[in-house]
Structure 1
Amino acid sequence: MGLEVIKAFIKATDQIFDPQTRRIVWIAFATTVGLFCLLWLAVGIILLNTTFFAVEWLEIIIGWLGGLATATFTWLLFPTAVSAVISFFLEDIAQAVEKKHYPHIASTSSVPTTSKVLSTFRFLTIMLSLNILLIPLLITGPIFPFIFYGINGYLLGREYFELVAFRRIDTCSAITLRKKNAFQIFLVGVLVALLLTVPFVNLFTPIITTGMMVHLFEDFRNRV
């Protein structure tokens, strides 16, 4: 049952080298760099124009600590931010995959920008909220990774599959198809959760995941 997932992964990984996909990655990278530059500028202005202590050496330490905190914040969140920006282009990625591998199927209608923003916001909110709720479970020790990847795998698999499926079939049919192929979709979700924790690889994870789900969706649909 996992063979379809492996095949989909190989095809989706190859999608990274597609010109349209590379364009999306560069746009996301440049946008994220721009946003963080604005963050650095804002923090710099605040630190330069705010006096925290009357003692000069303490003020210098605060300045250095502020800069270090900003750099650490950037290092930790940069991959997540790039992935979030790429999420706005998932429709374009799905279309690129379909154009390359399934040229015989009709193009979907253009998704309004508002819908893209709301869909991305909903997805990120669910992921963030769930992982905050999982923090207390750290006390479970060695069991925690299984809980973390299991729950995130289920959620990521479900959300990405529905994102792809809703473009082609009605909601009821998409949910039925998801439940019928729940195991394969769960496997993809766990793989995605693992990839998101790997530095550099996590930059491309939304692209790989979207590609995998397009391939699996077409495979599932053709079996019906």
Structure 2
Amino acid sequence: MNVVIEALVKAFRQLSDRAVLSILFKSMLVTLFVFICAGVAVYYGLIWVGTSYAGDSSGFAEAALAVIIAGLAFWFLFRVVAVGVLQFFADEVVAAVEARHYPDLAKRAQPLPFRRDLSNSLRGMGRTIGANLLALPVAGLLLVTGIGPAIVFLAVNAWLLGRELTDMAWLRHCGDREADNPVPRFQRVTLGAIVAGVMVIPFANLIGPIVGAAAGTHLAHHAMSAKRSNDERGDTA
């Protein structure tokens, strides 16, 4: 737990770095652009439905409904979209953290090609959507408890986020051994739970993905360092 807290503290301290601020600005713009485009598409889709089936449409009702739908989508899907967008800037986040804290190891990193970045992003979004859909029946059964659904979705997203945020750094150093992420599961889930909690708080959710990616980088390097130490002790035994 102390390792996770230390990683988060370092991540928050680095928010003042110009490189991190630039990534934060770019990822926020792209994320908001995605939601704006989706809102416009919903609006014109509702206009089309209104004119096709009602014969006439003033556009006001469709605009109001589009705003409501976009607002709900932003609330419920922000994490999925923001982390998916962040995948495209993951190398930049990790590189900024490594340049400041792990300069020697940064030279060994292998930046991911665009195709692999895109593949990781799409797979991550697919896992997120799929896992949350599978969690829906369980959350429905716990609806009578009031807090049950929130706990279910927090647990699911903690697991998902923990993996994605530590993979961002690990994939730059592991070659093709993606399944061997050395960060302990408890640390990954703890980080994921904290970041998932931050991402439901208005305005704080805008920095959540960047802070999570930076903290995930620290956890990945801490785990890789521990693994190297164990391997060296094994070689000398």
Q: TM-score range by the shorter chain?
A: 0.7 to 0.9
Q: Deviations over 1:146-186 (max 9, x none)?
A: 332223212221232233212113565962623xx222222
> Shift in Å at residue 8 of structure 1?
0.6
Percent identity for Structure 1 against Structure 2 = 25
Alpha-carbon RMSD: 2.7
Q: Deviations over 1:69-122 (max 9, x none)?
A: 222233334444444322310111001110111122233233211111110110
Residues 1:221 and 2:224 aligned together: yes
What is the correspondence of 1:1-224 to structure 2 with a 5 Å cutoff?
2-39=1-38, 41-42=40-41, 47=47, 50=51, 52-54=53-55, 59-60=57-58, 63-78=59-74, 79-80=78-79, 81-107=81-107, 108-138=109-139, 139-140=141-142, 141=145, 142-170=147-175, 175=180, 177-178=182-183, 181-223=184-226, 224=229
Distance 2:130 2:116 in 1: 21
Distance 1:124 1:33 in 2: 17
Q: Which runs of 5+ in 2 are unaligned?
A: 230-237
Q: TM-score when scaled to structure 1?
A: 0.82
Q: Quick check: 1:25–1:86 contact (8 Å CA) kept in 2?
A: no
The one-letter code sitting in structure 2 at the alignment partner of 1:151 is V
Q: Which runs of 5+ in 1 are unaligned?
A: none
Q: Quick check: 1:83–1:203 contact (8 Å CA) kept in 2?
A: no
Distance 1:217 1:45 in 2: 45
Q: Deviations over 1:178-198 (max 9, x none)?
A: 3xx222222112112212222
Q: Quick check: 1:153–1:188 contact (8 Å CA) kept in 2?
A: yes
Matched positions, count:
216
Q: TM-score when scaled to structure 2?
A: 0.78
Q: Quick check: 1:165–1:174 contact (8 Å CA) kept in 2?
A: no
Distance 2:30 2:159 in 1: 30
Q: Deviations over 1:17-48 (max 9, x none)?
A: 22112212222333344445544555565638
